[in-house]
Amino acid sequence: MDKKQQYNESDNMENKKNEQLEDYRVDNHDSKLTTNQGVRVSSTVDSLKAGDRGPTLMEDFHFREKMTHFDHERIPERVVHARGFGAHGYFQVYESMSEWTKAKFLQDPAVKTPVFVRFSTVVGSRGSADTVRDVRGFATKFYTEDGNYDLVGNNMPVFFIQDAIKFPDVVHAIKPEPNNEIPQASAAHDTFWDFVVNNTETAHMIMWVLSDRGIPRSFRMMEGFGVHSFRFVNEQGKARFVKFHWKPLLGVHSLTWDEAQKLAGKDPDFHRRDLWDAINNGEHPEFEFGVQILEEEDEFKFDFDILDPTKIWPEELVPVKIIGKMTLNRNQDNFFAETEQVAFHTGHVVPGIDFSNDPLLQGRLFSYTDTQLLRLGGPNFHEIPINRPIAPIHNNQRDGFHRMTINRGNVSYTKNSLQGNMPEADKENGFVHYAEKVEGHKVRSRSESFNDHYSQATLFWNSMSDAEKQHIIKAFHFEVGSVKDKQIKERVVEMFNNVDGQLAKEIAKGIGVAPPSAAPSSTETKSTAASPALSQQNTVMGARTRKVAILAYDGFALDEVQQVQSALNAGGLHTDVISKNLGNITSADGQELEVNKNYATTSAIMYDAVYVAGGAQSISNLMKHKEAKDFINDAFAHAKTIGATNEGVDLLASTDMMNISLAGADTQNELHTDMGIVTIRKPKDFSAFSEAFINGIAQHRHWIRENQDGKMSG
């Protein structure tokens, strides 16, 4: 069978997993209620009793089955990454990677490899909010013809610790404190920062978590990283070190801290709702797959250890080669059956991908299977539909909790003659571990090359824009300012003085302790003083899929709304008309427009921009609405693009925005743009306004409106 027949080109590989899941899907439309044994049920609203006021009878098998299932519906949540959300899709490589790896799913651009991706927060419980400051998980299960490959990544390329034996410690420290189970989903407490100052290898990761990367705008707008150094191995057996990257085509963007906190109350499901809606709208999230490839002979040529999981390989030194694209095009059918029961494991690799000696990775190779044995009820979690490979399974494993396979025959061992020694090992195509030469004494120690804890933290700091640096400082003020023990606060200042002296002084200023006692030690990396790839200011900018709030009331100018709304929709943006009440509002010329949201059901924090349409009566009423002014003030404070036409400019001038210059905004037919504020009066048409407004939204934020104290500059 040739390759095209085997795959039936690109469609069958993608459809095979979907067809496999189809066997387990149930649609209850037009059906009769039954027990789990298939017995039809006459009633499920009253239990069986001895008389209508008598005791319930134990023989009511339907009641017992229904209640027993309910009592056991929950499985233990993940210790970390408990709150997650998943989606299906496919991956296609751009060109054959045969020079680098023999992994079959990285060879043929015509083949669509099905994937399931689970995004998650790390620290909080299943009931915590989406928008907390935290690392995000970005785990991808590839259902390849050679078996499942799991790329278990995060949205940050480094981690807190260098050795997996410390993983229970860092998790215990960052989780709610055991005496009072406070705080939930937050690192802003004593035990975590006590761990930080006593384990200074955390310095680089702390810089990432306290940066804007810790509060992403959406799952669709964050990078993914494999974190560890892995290996590619080709058909000739040649190995190279590799790091994995996911690059979102929408760019890498974040919330502000104030938005993140407010969203936790207004819409704790903000990120999962965003992903769900985007896929349902046909705006399928896309991520390009990139690899950094390093020849084995170059392993020691850098001033950092490439196996250290607290270090990046700066992209300016080891460029990212983009090799394919993943598209998420289908939402889950059932959250529990898919997202909650999916089991990832760094040890799930296929021929052509192998491990390195990264000590954090080595520990994860044990931890994941051990975790699933508890969560998913025994050794057969691979038989749960979402975990089943599309490759056939043949081995001598039998029995155990929740076994679903019905194995025929009486042979379950190797070697055997009763079954012709089947199933037999595949010496030609089977997985062969890379034959790395390993020698050394058995020791509990760490390589001296792992001892540099600060230089890449300094690299990260030096790579940030001024606005990003201010956000990091403010994050330190909240996180460390929440610590009660003054000695820990002082030690944080001394620790991060090794990263940057000015940073340490700014931290000290905000948390009420003395500035650092000594000049900072020199931590400038020998490799590069800054890495532009680390700043979100240098990411892809664009307006596509962004959400715009349109504020209007009775007497609004319908023509203005229609023209601007049409331009926004044509640019791939979404709009909601927002007013005091739900229902319809009436334009100045008597036509009605449906209101999508009212002040009670939405907020400026849920939108990327705000537009205020003209209409004298509408603006006169909006000026009386505190909520309308608050809407604009919030958008202004969060550095978002704000637009207004005709009388709508008057509403802007009545808000906190009066502190900025609106000079020229009263000029007829003259477009006025300043610091992300776009206005025009009495234009001949709205095309120039719409273009400028969309261009402003494409910039994501206008940080020029922030000064060093985080207040709006006037």
Structure tokens at 436: 């790395």
User: Which DSSP string do the residues of 103-120 spell out, in sequence order?
Assistant: -GGGT-TT--EEEEEEEE
What is the rounded distance in angstroms from the CA atom of residue 590 to the CA atom of residue 680? Answer: 24
b/e string for 351-376 if b means 16 or more Cβ within 10 A? bbbbbbebbbbbbbeebbbebbbeeb
Structure tokens at 20: 């496999």
What is the rounded distance in angstroms from the CA atom of residue 544 to the CA atom of residue 302? Answer: 40
CA nearest to 220, candidates 136, 153, 159: 136
State the DSSP H helix or E strand holding residue 266, giving kind and residue range, or none if neither.
Answer: helix 257-266
What is the rounded distance in angstroms from the CA atom of residue 103 to the CA atom of residue 421? Answer: 28
b/e string for 381-411 if b means 16 or more Cβ within 10 A? bbebbbbbbbeeeeeeeeeeeeeeeeeeeeb
Catalytically annotated residue among 62, 88, 148, 154: 154
For residue 47, give Cα distances in angstroms to 71, 649, 671, 692: 17, 64, 71, 65
CA nearest to 97, candidates 109, 115, 110, 111: 109
Q: Is 325 exposed, middle or buried (0-12, 13-18, 19+ CB in 10 A)?
A: middle
| Active-site annotation holds for 81 | yes
Angle between the 687-698 and 558-570 helix axes, to the nearest 10 degrees? 50
CB 690 within 8 A of CB 563: yes
If you count DSSP H runs as helices and E runs as strands, how many of each does the chain have, helices first?
18, 19
Quick one: DSSP state of residue 22?
Answer: H
| Active-site annotation holds for 633 | no
User: How many alpha carbons fall within 13 Å on the CB side of residue 559?
Assistant: 10
Q: Which residues are CB-neighbours of 315 under 8 A, at least 6 positions away? A: 292, 531, 533
Catalytically annotated residue among 62, 81, 271, 348: 81
Which is it for the CA torsion 297, 300, 303, 309, positive or negative? positive
CA diameter of the chain: 93
Q: How far is CA 18 from the centre of its chain?
A: 24
Q: Annotated active-site positions, please? A: 81, 154
